Each structure stands twice: as structure tokens, then as C-alpha cells.
Structure 1
Amino acid sequence: MEKGLDDTLYGNRDKRGYWTPKRLITRAPVFVWPVQPIKFLRYMFGSPGYIWPRNAAFLVLTFFTIRYLTPSLETMRNFSVGWISLILLRNAVLELLICGGLHFMLYIRRRQQTAFKYNARWPEADNSSFLFGSQTAENVFWTMCSGVPVWTAYEAVIWWMYANGYIARVDFAQHPIYCVALLLLVPLWEGIHFYVVHRLIHMGPLYHWIHKVHHNSFNPGPWSGLSMHTFEHLIYFSLVLIVAVVPSNPIHSMFMLMFFGLHPAIGHLGFHAVATRDGEFIDNDIYFHYLHHKYFEVNYGGELHGLDWLFGTAHDGSPEAEEAMYKRMKAKKYVRGSSQG
């Protein structure tokens, strides 16, 4: 947590209203050479880092949800409207609480106005290019009417498979080292899956048929994160299918689904930091992905696995990276939705 709400101390806002942090984006010190052991340990166990606070928070939510908000395995041995409806209701309420809460605080009450907001403009509320003429209304529609049902469908199938022994279930008490190791690998798998799927749907007609729905939110907010075409939801949440081939515990699959279902609200918040009531702020550095929404053809993944650096599509927020991006686009005769990076 940092002090002071003066965003000019941490970044600059240009004449068009775009706020840019002074601190450049850097790769996570994981897949780097030469190795950086001190930075690696600080990243793994420090804050903000690999475990704390985000992954730890979603893991706690996962344990709570399994313990108190999920039907018994015995109940889920047979598909029925009853228990699936309960899971759908639970997921919808969680989505409303997180997306709706953040949207109310930052976009309706506008508690900190545009301080630390990457784009000084607010989501458009009178634009015919959006469903119902409103970006927020369109985002809510795709999130609640497609995203949450698809998430629930995957969860219901996975629980049914666990309950009937169709996939291998590993007990934490009997294999604690394996289960903890697998848990630590979940965020890495999430990042790789997201990158591969994301690159795929930026190719040729797939962008225009599918991914364009998500990129309608040029100026993203909390409801934009899960605002996707239904086909994109289907491949987005498919990351959980790995448990069909990798022995696991329901905690692993639920952790994946909870993170992919709820974290996009934070990842598309639109604010670099969130003010607290005592005048301090909580760092929410999501500039890497925000640049993807701004420029479309950079930063397809995240800082963890470094695949954008490997394939030359990383943008660290610097003028040099911007110049390199435009040169790359010009050299490849860039057309949005092409397979070019």
C-alpha cells in the first residue's frame, strides 16, 4: 500500500488524457537468463508477487467456496437442475459482488475521479456500436448471460467427473507435496493457456468473428474483463480440462475457474491504483494488459512466462517499445485481426 493520491508523482498524463506510469514494465524474474535468484525469491514470496496477494486471495476464496458454497460430491454424481442452478447462482452472485462492487466504487461514485485512470474518459453510454448503446450494458450482458453460464457448465462437468471417478482425484492429505507443487504451477498454466488462446483468436477471421466483441471495450472497466463472445468463453475456460489428463484435487480445478471467472474484473479495472479511505492507495499495476487493449497487437499474455518477449510482441510502456511496435506493424502491412504480431 502506498501513500498519496497524486498520480503525477507516479506517472504522466498526456494531452489526450492517457496516463502512463513512470515505471516501465519488466519481465517476472522467472524464465530469464542469467538467473536472478534473489529477485526470483522476492517475486515468489514477496508482495506483490507470484503468490501474494492475488493468487493467495483467490486460493482462500476457492477453499471457502468449496467448503460452504458447493453441493456434496454425492449430490453431484448425477446431473440435475437443482445443484447446477445453485452453482450458477453462486457464480453469478460472486461476479456481481466483484464486478459490480468495483464498478460502483470507481465508475458510478467515481470515488477517486480519474486519478491513476489510464484513460481519462469514462465508458461510452450513448454509442450505437455497443449493444443497448452502452459499453457497460454490453459488458454486463456478455459477462452474466454468457460468461457465467459457460464457467458454470465447465464447473458442473468437472464436479460430475470427480464425483463419478471419471478423472483421477488426488487427496491432499496423502500426497501433500504433489498437490502443493501442482497448486503452485496453476498460475503458470493459466498464463500459458491464456497466451496461446489469445494469439489464436487474434488470427484472421477469428478476430472479427469472435474476439472483436472483447475489444469493443477499448476503454476497459471491471465489467469488460469477461465481456466476450460465447465461443471465446468456451475456449477461455477450457484451461480446466487439463485435470482430465493430470491427476488433481478439486481445489486445483476450482482455483483455475475462480481465477479465470473473477480476476478479469481486476485485470481490466482501468486504474493503476485504487484509493483507500485513509488517503492511501493499493497498487493495481495492470498496465501490461491495458496496453493490449490500447494497441491490440502487443502484450498477448502476461509478465510471468515472458512469451511476449520471446516472440517480439512485448510493449514495456517506453517510447522505444512504441516505435518498435509501429515499425513492426508497418513492415508487416498490419491489418487488425491479422496473424501478425
Structure 2
Amino acid sequence: MTYDEAKPEALPAKSTWNYHPDLPLQDRSLFNLKRGPAEGLKLLWGSWLPISDRLIVVSLSILTWFYLSPSLQTARSFTFDWVAGVYLRNLIMISLLAGGMHLYLYTFKMQGNRLRYDARPFHKKNALFTFSSQFLDNVFWSLASGVTVWTSYEVLGLWAYANGYMPMLDFTNHPIWFVVWFILLPFYGVVHFYWIHRLLHWGPIYNHVHSLHHRNVNVGPWSGMSMHPIEHIGYLSSVLIHFVIASHPIHFIFQLQSKVLLAVSSHAGYESVTAGENSDAGLKVGDFFHQLHHRYFECNYGEPEVPCDKWFGTFHDGSEDATARTRLRTKEMRKK
């Protein structure tokens, strides 16, 4: 799909969502000075506790480092055994999460269309997708490219820590900074993602690279990491900051797992995963902010935590006025 063929305005003008949160979307950033610091801290607290997908990833990264990773002594040199072990672990991890969510939400339809943003079915027998199937296309690119690039970054990082090419920060000597890193890294990741994403929407790069991800106007768990290899390299390159600022391998693993696993959950297509069709108890996973990007393309390049889209005029709040502005902006971009 070329940049010019990707026309979100080709969707029916009266197209509606099966579900959406309260609109217009509000500024949920901690950087909203009108809200005041107290409310900002409440938002920060709520993004982590009492339970969140981000907190789950922190726990998973700690378990991964202690039980599922090679020692730094082992990682000093590249050998097939430990590199293959990291690859296999990552392959299983994404398959369990994306595959499990797909089975629960789309194969067995355990909560029906409740809290699902777009109730339209995934594409089948469509030549736009690899293997003419949106599902198979997404699985292939997530595993063949996504897991390979993810593992390559992780293997490089562990080797760099082991050989002193990455500055090390340990909990014993720096307990406060050790914990603060988990809070700061996601904010840095949002800013990095915004600018990488804007670059990916530049015509030539979009046509040859990013259009693969944007085949998915209606997304599912396997869509999050369905990208061109070049996009995977750019998307995960935020971890290169660890070559500059002291950190621990746990932070490095956390950042990689956040970028991969939260991309899976945020593309679930549902606001929350609940315990059945009639249950109100569940874990928030979806991101309507980014769902708008997949439908209207030239908006919401970042994430709500840092209001880059507000600052640079690309914010879509879900309203009809915002849709009109985005479509006008898209047409002007294509004239250039």
C-alpha cells in the first residue's frame, strides 16, 4: 500500500465506533500545567498502581533477568547457546501474549464485542496482506522480523554490559535512581516514539516501510509488532540511550519488553480485557488515542503521557471537528 493509496477519508463519512471512551479525549499528560501538580501525581500513580500493564512488565523484566537470561559472565562472548536461548524466550513470550489475547478476544470471543473499538472483521483473502490474510500477515512480521530485531538489540545490550561498553548502575549503591529509572524511561520512550513515528510518515519511508504496519486500519494483538524490519530497528532504537546513561540490564530488558509487549496489548482492539462478556472487572489494555491514528493516519503519532501531539498540532481528540482537521492536513501533506 503506497502513501497515496492510504486514504482514511475513503472510509464511510458516517462510520462510527462500536465502542469508544468519553469524547473528546482529554489531555492525560503530566505536563498539563493547568491541572496542577497534585492531579498530575494522581495520574502518575494511576498509571502504575494498584495494577497496570506497565507494572506487570516491570515484574516480568525482573523475573526475566534473574531466571531467563544468561549471566554477564556468559554474555562476554557471543555463543550460539545463550543467543538462541534469548531468541526462543522472546519468541515464546510474544506468542503467549499475542496468541493468548487473540484466542481469548477473537477466536473464542470471550467478551464478544464488548469494549471493542471497531467491530469489523479482520481481512481475509485480501492480496494487500502477506499470505492474503491480515492475521497471518501480522503473525509473520511480528515473529520473523519483530522477534529477530528485538533479540538482536537485547543480545547486543547484554554483551555490551558484560564487556563494559554500557555504564552500569546497581541497586545496592543507587537504590533511588534504580527505581526512578523505571518511571522516567517510559516518558523518554514516548518522545522517541513520536519523532521516529513522524519520520516514518514521510512519503518515501511511509511507502516503502511504514505502510506495512498501516495495512491494519482495524487492529488486533498481532498488529502491534507487525512492522517492516527497518521500522522495527527504528522503533526499538530507544534502548540505545543505555550506551550513554548508566542503567542496569533489568532497565534495558524492561524497556525492550515495554516496547514490544505493550505494543501487543495496546493494539488489542479492546479498551479492556475483562473476565467474560458481562464482567466489569478487567485490565485496561487498549489505546483509543492510537486507534484513531490507525483510522485517520496523520494524527496522534505519539502517546498521551507526553503531549507531543498537542505541542505540534497533530492531536486528534475523537471529535468530528478533529477528523475534519486531520483530513484537511492529510490532503495538504500529499500535495507537497
TM-score between both structures, scaled by the size of structure 2 = 0.90
Partner Cα separation in structure 2 for residue 55 and residue 116 of structure 1: 20
Change (3 A) 1:103 1:285: closer
Query: How much does 1:29 deviate?
Result: 3.8
> Mind listing any 5+ residue stretches in structure 2 that lack a counterpart?
1-12
Residues 1-341 of structure 1 mapped to structure 2, 5 A cutoff: 16=15, 18-24=17-23, 25-46=25-46, 48=47, 52-277=51-276, 279-282=279-282, 283-330=284-331, 332=332, 334-335=333-334
Question: Hey, what's the Cα distance between the residues in 1 that align with 2:176 and 2:272?
Answer: 36
1:242 Cα deviation (Å)? 0.5
Seq. identity, %: 38
For the residues of structure 2 that align with 1:229 and 1:50, how far apart are their CA atoms?
34
CA distance in 1, matches of 2:301, 2:50: 22
Distance 1:102 1:249, change over 3 A: same
Pairwise CA distance, 1:51: 8.7
Cα drift, residue 38 of structure 1:
2.4
Unaligned runs of 5+ in 1: 1-13
Separation in 2 of the partners of 1:95 and 1:315? 30
Shift of 1:126: 1.4
| Counterpart amino acid of residue 240 in structure 1 | V
- Matching residue's letter, 2:26: T
- 3-state SS, counterpart of residue 293 of structure 1: helix
Give the superposition deviation at 1:73: 1.0
Q: CA RMSD in A?
A: 1.9
Partner SS state of residue 92, structure 2: helix
Q: How many aligned residue pairs are there?
A: 321
- SS of the aligned residue for 1:19 comes to coil
Paired amino acid for 2:293: H
Question: Does the C-alpha gap of structure 1 residues 51 and 228 become closer, same or farther in structure 2, counting only changes over 3 Å?
Answer: farther
Checking the alignment, whether the CA contact within 8 Å between 1:118 and 1:272 is kept in structure 2 is yes
| Structure 2 CA distance for partners of 1:317 and 1:276, relative to 1, 3 Å | same
Check the 8 A contact 2:269/2:286 in 1, yes or no: no
Runs of 4+ deviating beyond 4 Å:
14-17, 48-52
Contact kept, 8 Å, 2:75 with 2:158, in 1: the verdict is: yes
Cα gap change, 1:181 to 1:265, in 2 (>3 Å): same
Superimposed CA distance per residue, residues 89-118 of structure 1 (whole angstroms, 9 cap, x where no aligned partner): 000000000000000111111122222222
Structure 2 letter corresponding to 1:34: K
The CA distance in 2 between the partners of 1:87 and 1:120, in whole Å, is: 36
Residues 272-281 or 34-43, more deviating: 272-281
Shift in CA distance, 273/183, structure 1 to aligned 2, threshold 3 Å = closer
Change (3 A) 1:317 1:281: farther
Distance 1:237-1:250 versus aligned 2 partners, 3 A rule = same
